[in-house]
Amino acid sequence: MRGPHNIWRLIRTGATMERTGAMRVVLDAMDAPRPIRIVARALAWPFAWLGYKGDPDMPPATRALSALGPAYIKFGQVLSTRPDVVGADMAQQLRVLQDKLPPFPVEVAKKSVAEALDRPVEDIFDTFSEPVAAASIAQVHKARLKDTGEEVAVKVLRPGVERAFRRDIDAFYFAADVIEFLSPASRRLRPRDVIAHFEGVVLGELDLRLESASASEFEANTAQDEGFQLPQIKWALSGRRVMTMTWAEGVPLGDNAAIDAAGHDRRVLGERVLQLFLSHALRDGYFHADMHQGNLKVAPNGDIIAYDFGIMGHIDEYARRVYAEILFGFIQRDYHRVAEVHFEAGYVPANQDVEEFARALRAVGEPIFGMDASHISMGRLLNYLFEVTERFGMQTRTELILLQRTMVVVEGVARSLHPQINIWEVAKPVVQDYITRAMGPRAMARDLTRTARVLARFGPRLPGLVENALIRQATPAEPTEKPTRTGPVLWAFGGAVIGGGLVALLETLL
């Protein structure tokens, strides 16, 4: 129920931030202007006694977010990858939220496993360890299979986590409604759509059967990727609340000291993380959308191992081409082309000026080139980008939220490995290769073949569909007439043809 009762939840959020000391710490880390600091503290201070106390042994921000619940913890996980935004000290503190949260008892986990698999744990495993990692939604145990002796990782959902997430998301919806009501200008950012997208992602993460399927599909796509490994899913030992996979042996990607001690080159690893993500997003349109340090390891041979497939991103082929052209335009410093792509894709309203938008993009991109990446303030860059989007009336693209969020996270991971890494230089070969394959002569031939197949499948029905549509348009239906499915079918046909290659052909020719 998204009613006024959520005011209480939001009040407790601010009160918890104030009571734990996180409010001051966060405002300092974000270098918030003095007026914002004064207003935020003034609103939260009277209610501080209502806030959750949290674990006093934790740093303030980590203490507050972990006390507030899983949805807030997810937010903290993103910030933990951005030392350039929140500062190195806070990023290190927030990293605890990735896989070092307080676990629930091993006996509770065993009971969940037995209920999910309908067998006693002792009949399946020789050993079943205490939790080796605990995150916001689930925790992981190391075990050994009784029949084969193979070491596996067993992931178990936290008790009651579904209810906790629904409560937080309910409050987020209420906050989005309040924001839209009080600030009509914020509606272009579509806060309700953003929350709806987040809700869909999270609810999918709460069903481990879907995560197992995601891991299987991801493995099929990346089987030939050099320097990349994935654990194998044990389908017979997995269910809605339990997932079993082969054990991934390696050094945590967030432990630079251990990586150095193992003799791995952190610069190479940072570049590989970025290039793997871009390759998966552009080549496959299916990517790991939760690539923080807590979900990545380095194998003894130097391969990067990814796990935890609860959040996966998908973008269609047209969006991939748009994204690639935008990235490549920035890489080539062709801001006019970047601006044109935004207009062609409908990201910027047609009544705006292309030249003005190109100049605004130049102000965003130029400071990046020829500068040591460690000297670039991502916080100031994001603030300027927000000003640009507001000025030109851009709306939030909900279909690209995961892609944008993951790009931020992955860049943060890469920079934590090698602070001087430059995302544009590392991205260039991957993006250039994709554009060559997706927009060159071979791609055009492939799209035309796909279009021909669609025409062959729907061709015999096309005359009747067109005739029915024209008759329906010429003769308005009576109010009591039962709707037909002609319109949706025709639209589906048109969409299939366009998606099959005509758009790509026009883009290539133009």
Is 290 catalytic? The answer is yes
Q: Residue 500, SS3?
A: helix
Sheet holding 125-134, edge to edge: 125-134, 138-145, 151-157, 242-246
How far does Cα 315 stand from its chain's mean position? 12
Distances (CA, A) of 151 to 21, 124, 205, 246, 474: 42, 12, 24, 6, 69
205 Cβ contact partners less than 8 Å away, ≥ 6 residues apart = 137, 211, 310, 311
Closest CA to 15 of 59, 60, 64, 57: 64
Residue 183, Cβ density class (10 Å: 0-12 exposed, 13-18 middle, ≥19 buried)? exposed
Task: Label the pairing between strands 312-314 and 286-288.
Answer: antiparallel
* CA–CA dist 268, 238 (Å, integer): 35
Active-site residue among 290, 308, 316, 334?
Answer: 290
What three-state secondary structure class fits 205? Answer: helix
- CA distance linking residue 219 with residue 210, whole number of Å: 14
Q: Which of 126, 117, 119, 154 is nearest to 139 (CA)?
A: 154
> What does the alpha-carbon distance between residue 316 and residue 323 come to, in Å, rounded to a whole number?
11
So which residues are the catalytic ones? 290
